[in-house]
Amino acid sequence: MARASAREIAVEVLPHFAKSVLAGDVHSYGFYAKAIGRDPAKESMVIGKAMHMIGALCAFTAVPVAPLYFVERADAEWRGVFESDAAERIHVLPHCDLLYVTAREFKYSRPDFERMEKGLKEVLPKHFSPNALSPHKIWHMVIYTKLKDGTTVLERALARYREILEQARVAKRK
């Protein structure tokens, strides 16, 4: 039997993840492994890759990167996300605080997750071959894809995240 790809696992995990995020619950990678019938002790790493894929889709849709806040390691240590890939380390890691705080402050909705689900199930497979669907390659699309206005998908997402934080700050002052 072939191993499931990060995208396939993300499709399985996303409904469980969406339910947790909408409820405001933070869970471990092992929680999600168990939720989809995998051994948490052995397969938390595959959940990490799926969450990295979901995070890329968050950025692609300019929704705050939910896995950064709503998923944690069982030992509560730093996950090292964005550090293993050179492009992510250079372009995304410096914004990790912004991504984390925005994910914490944002009020997610069902439509946010429906867009991600459509991306995972329909958009990505339609436009990319299976070997182009690793989480790192999707993050590279976020980092390097230019929009009509000349900005990148990442720049658009970061601008949106700054707006969200400013709105949260204003709301707290009231």
Residue range 157-169, pLDDT digits in tens = 999 999 999 999 9
With a pLDDT cut of 90, the percent of the chain lying above it is 71
Domain limits, the chain: 6-173
Q: What integer best gives the mean pLDDT of the chain?
A: 90
Whole-model pTM above 0.85?
yes
Q: CB-based burial of residue 24 (10 Å sphere; 0-12 exposed, 13-18 middle, 19+ buried)? A: exposed
Torsion sign across C-alpha atoms 91, 95, 96, 101: negative
Output the tens digit of pLDDT for each of the chain's 174 residues. Answer: 457 788 999 999 999 999 999 999 999 999 999 999 998 888 888 899 999 999 999 999 999 999 999 998 776 666 678 888 999 999 999 999 999 999 999 999 999 999 999 999 998 888 787 776 889 999 999 999 999 999 999 999 999 999 999 999 998 887
**Contact between residue 47 and residue 91 where contact means Cβ atoms under 8 Å apart:** no
Q: What is the longest distance spanned by two Cα atoms in the chain? A: 57
Summarize pLDDT for 119-137 with one digit per residue, the tens: 999 988 887 877 768 899 9
Amino acid 126: pLDDT: 87
